[in-house]
Amino acid sequence: MPASNPFYLFNNQTTDGISNQGSLEIGGNREAIVQCYGTWDGANIIIQNRAFSLDPLTAPWLQLNDLSGNPFAFTSNGQQSISGISQNEPVRAVLSNAGASTSITVVVRYT
């Protein structure tokens, strides 16, 4: 079942971790934007997905790249458009290097 709009992968996450996965309902005229914001204190966020054509329960998680081949990775507040993935493909966020004051929110909004 597709996630609601917007949906949160992290909401004020303070420690290293892996978010719950969301399923992107994109395709046709629908696109999405990943927004990351909060207090970073040295933290990093990457966005991963699973290949739609493979079994979603056993396929490995891979770093999601934009159309230019650049990874969806954040070290400060920002946003990136999602494109080039299949409708209802699972996505998640991974937070690493959290500092003492890290508090990060990662939200996906449909446009």
Q: Using one digit for the tens of pLDDT, what is the confidence trace for 19-65?
A: 988 777 665 556 788 999 999 999 999 998 876 666 667 778 888 87
Tell me the per-residue pLDDT of 67-89, one tens digit each, with 9 for 90 and over: 677 888 999 999 988 765 666 77
User: What is the residue type of 86?
Assistant: S
From the list 62, 44, 64, 63, the residue with the least C-alpha distance to 104 is 44
Query: Which whole-number Å values give the CA distances from 59 to 46, 76, 89, in the listed order?
Result: 18, 29, 12
pTM above 0.75, yes or no: yes
From the list 47, 96, 99, the residue with the least C-alpha distance to 73 is 47
What domains sit in the chain, N to C, each tagged with a CATH number? 7-110 (2.60.120)
From the list 22, 13, 40, 1, the residue with the least C-alpha distance to 108 is 22
